[in-house]
Structure 1
Amino acid sequence: MIVVDYFLSLGSIVFVPIVLIIIGLVLGQGILRAIRSGIIVGIGFIGLNLAISLISNTLEPAVTQIVERFSFNLTVIDIGSGAAAGVAFSTLVGALIIPSVFALNLLLLVIGFTKTMNIDIFNYSHYAFTGAVVHLMTGSIVLGVGASLIQATWSLLSADYSAKKVQDALGVEGISIPQGYAASTVPLFVLLDKVYNRIPFLRNSKLDLSYLQGRIGMFGDPVIIGAALGLILALLAGYNFADGANLLMSVVAIMVLFPRMVKIIVEGLLPISESAKTFFNKRFKGKEVFIGLDSAITLGLPTTQIVGTMLIPITLVLAVILPGNKVLPLGDLAFVAFFTCMATIIHKGNLLKTVISGVINMIGVLYIASWFAPHFSKLAASGGATEIKGQTTALWNGNVFDYIIAQIGGFGVIGLVVLVILTIPIGLYVKRVTAREKLTE
């Protein structure tokens, strides 16, 4: 456990390359090629972190200013994903979750129940939170860890289901997205996509970025769109010219930098992907294994950035007008692109479908985060967060997998048995779908 904690303390820019170098060596990539691939991916993550820091440093203050300016009267404060993950890992379940989920993942790979090896260990916090809530509700650490393992399994299955779509969108084989929140949105977005295909106006929609640029020229360029969105946010925040101009430039920089950084990550992943294909074709008769990565690698898609920025003011409006919502979006609001990234993948970059799905998803996020607020506040208090007053939550908590598993798991042993029984047919369905995709390649 001490060794695991040490490597996690190194951060994703060191830990992920180390894991990828080891994977590359196991796959027979050769030591120098493996080192190069791992380091290139690490460089890409450094770039992503710099771009994400732009969101934190420029968008978060603007969001805070908008909230204060319009005096939204909501009682539960969104403290953000970073603090929420800290609360989740500080629980008893959180202390057990990393070795438990890692061991489960290896077992499921060996028996063929999943194709994904989830190396996005930092986001195991989602599973820790679900398990901690079930532990809080039932008083049983065994049931809490069991609930966490169920969610980890669902995330792996979701990653398997969406893997080919992710690979097509990013242009790199052998990867998937099991990240705790992104994976939970896949069923909703797939269902909505099927609904859209039954509505002629949406089924025939061609409103992706290339179509937009063809129709309105430079006005469809991500730089121009970013400038327009930055201007809108600056006006809502009541910024003066200097602050508004800085915000505008930062939004445009986010639009430009994310795709560049993702290209660097893809450059590092491609050799590993090719080595994996050769390795498994030779030793396991073509058995596929996907490297499970953080959803941050999808943020380079222009549709995700455009829709994510649009959803910032939209989510604030939803928070105010939705009956029964108690959450004041704050800490996670600047990062809404993470909440809608898989919609871009499922809807193949269609802007109209992604906006509609994003709005529907954020409605669910607000209500689920409201429901979790009492539980989250108790966990935060028990973890020593005495400086937090009143009820708190995070949009990060608005995870439908969290909600379903906590609701059913709250019934104790019977609930956990029900969850296991539900998981088996879900796994068999995903296996059938992915096998059919393999045949049609």
Structure 2
Amino acid sequence: MDTLTTVVQGILNMGSSVVLPIIIFTLALIFRVPIRNAITSGLTVGIGMLGISLVLGLLSDNVGPAAQAMVERFGLELTIVDAGWPAVAAATWAQPIAAVMIPVILAVNLIMLAFNWTKTLNIDIWNYWHMSAAAATGYIVTRSFFWGIVCGIGYTVIVQLVADKTAPYVQDYYGLEGVSITTGSAQGYALLGIPIAWAVSKIPGIGKLDVEPETIQKRFGIFGEPMIMGIIIGGAMAILGGYDITRILQTAMAMGAVMFILPRMVKILMEGLIPIQEAAQATLQKRYADREIFLGMDAALATGSPAALSTGLLMVPITLLIAVLLPGNRVLPFADLATIPFFAALVVPTRKGNILHSVIALTVVITFALWMATDYAPVLTKMAEGVIKFPKGASQISNFDTGGNLLNWIFLKLSELVNSVF
């Protein structure tokens, strides 16, 4: 088990920009893409993912400090610190059950494909950690290896089904042909966000307000351009954080750059995926007649959309405000604030990019997410003990990606029920 864990950890430590090209190259050979094209596709996808990571790093480096400055400026006192998804992912992979889950998740996916229970081939192995986190939760709560695997399998099945259901919206709105989104955090927020956004669209007055990036651009001219929107949002966050004029301008420019560059990075990645997607469709159609097969990918692809990114950035100050005012919340939002655009990834396309509807829906979802993250804190703290260094002043840790994720929280409650019964 220790050897398997070491091997898996070593592979994952390479990062998605290395692991994903290897997976793409292997898939290309399986689907009989010429080796030259297979190499080019794999490298292009890797470069695109690296570009996305760099731009998201720019986002995180600017949103995190601005959010922390807001927290300090307004004197927020909350005892559970949002340690962010990287910390929880590291804690997840450190659990003995996590290494076992990778082949289990892949096997479940292939079995579902073979029996036509899903249309999605989830190649986003990097994000298998979301399923593994559910397995680790089940194992920590019950001390049962078997129950932990059951939780991981259950999570995997739900991810496959949600990916299939949301794929038409993803493909139509984002233009990602043959792709579905299999990131567990995006799906967990979508389970609440999509029906709430639908309900918002039925509210008289609000339901008819068309607040899409294209509409904003038409009505406000240059001020509706995605990069200008980024500059305005970034500048506003910096002002709320009490920055001086230099840092306000720097933060504003960084957010404008994110809004401008990120869609181009996604386009590069998709250039690498197209040959694989076409070859996969052709090969699988020969075998399965007219069956559709989607490639399950990271929600990072959706962050190239101005609507998803704008929704996420607008939710940062809103999330901080809710955290302060919400009775029963003990979580201090921090590291996962830059991840909120991922949470919007499946909500935004179902509303055809309507930022207003998406923000209102996510405001409701974040409210529940804070309560869930507070409830999840003891387990995530136990999972992370001895694995990561806790943030200064934190008695416990949690996060939005896992702790505030409805899917993970459901398996936490199921595990507690099993533990109390047996």
TM-score bracket relative to the smaller structure = over 0.9
Q: Distance in 2 between matches of 1:70 and 1:354?
A: 27
Superposed counterparts of 1:5-404, under 5 Å: 5-381=9-385, 383=387, 389-396=394-401, 397-404=403-410
| Superposition TM-score, scaled by structure 2 size | 0.93
Post-superposition shift, 1:267? 1.4
Which blocks of at least 5 consecutive residues in structure 2 are unaligned?
none
Summarize deviations over 1:351-395 as a string: whole Å, max 9, x none: 111111121121121111111011111222264757875111112
Deviation per residue, 1:220-272 (Å, 9 max, x gap): 11122111111111111111122111111101111111111111111111222
Q: Is the 8 A contact 2:120 2:163 kept in 1?
A: yes
For 1:368, the aligned partner's letter is: M
The answer to whether the Cα contact below 8 Å between 2:141 and 2:419 also exists between their aligned partners in 1 is no
Q: Please list the CA deviations of residues 82-105 of structure 1 after superposition, one character each: whole Å capped at 9, or x if unmatched.
A: 101111111122232212212221
* Structure 2 SS opposite 1:207: coil
Instruction: Report deviation, 1:36.
Output: 1.4
Give the Cα separation in 2 of the matches to 1:225 and 1:278: 41
- Cα root mean square deviation, aligned: 2.0
> Is the Cα contact below 8 Å between 2:231 and 2:254 reproduced in 1?
no
User: Which residue of structure 2 lines up, in the alignment, with residue 419 of structure 1?
Assistant: none
Count matched residues: 416
**Could you tell me whether the CA contact under 8 Å between 1:409 and 1:415 is conserved in 2?**
no
Is the 2:191–2:406 contact (alpha carbons within 8 Å) kept by the matching residues of 1?
Answer: no
Once the two structures are superposed, residues 30-50 of structure 1 have per-residue CA deviations (whole angstroms, 9 ceiling, x without a partner) of 111122122111111111011
Distance 1:372 1:226 in 2: 33
Q: Which amino acid aligns with 2:29?
A: L
**Code of the aligned partner of 1:278:** A
Secondary structure of residue in 1 paired with 2:243:
coil
2:167 and 2:246 map into 1 onto residues whose CA distance is: 43
Q: Mark the runs of 5 or more structure 1 residues left unpaired by the alignment.
A: 417-441
User: Percent identity, aligned pairs only?
Assistant: 35
Q: Give the TM-score, by structure 1 length.
A: 0.89
User: Which of 394, 413, 417 is the equivalent residue of 1:411?
Assistant: 417
Provide the C-alpha distance between the structure 2 equivalents of 1:271 and 1:201, rounded to a whole number of angstroms.
Answer: 45
Does the CA-based 8 Å contact 2:81-2:391 persist in structure 1? no
Q: How far off is 1:283 after superposition?
A: 2.0
How far apart in 2 are the matches of 1:172 and 1:328? 35
Distance (Å, rounded) in 2 between the aligned partners of 1:368 and 1:348: 28
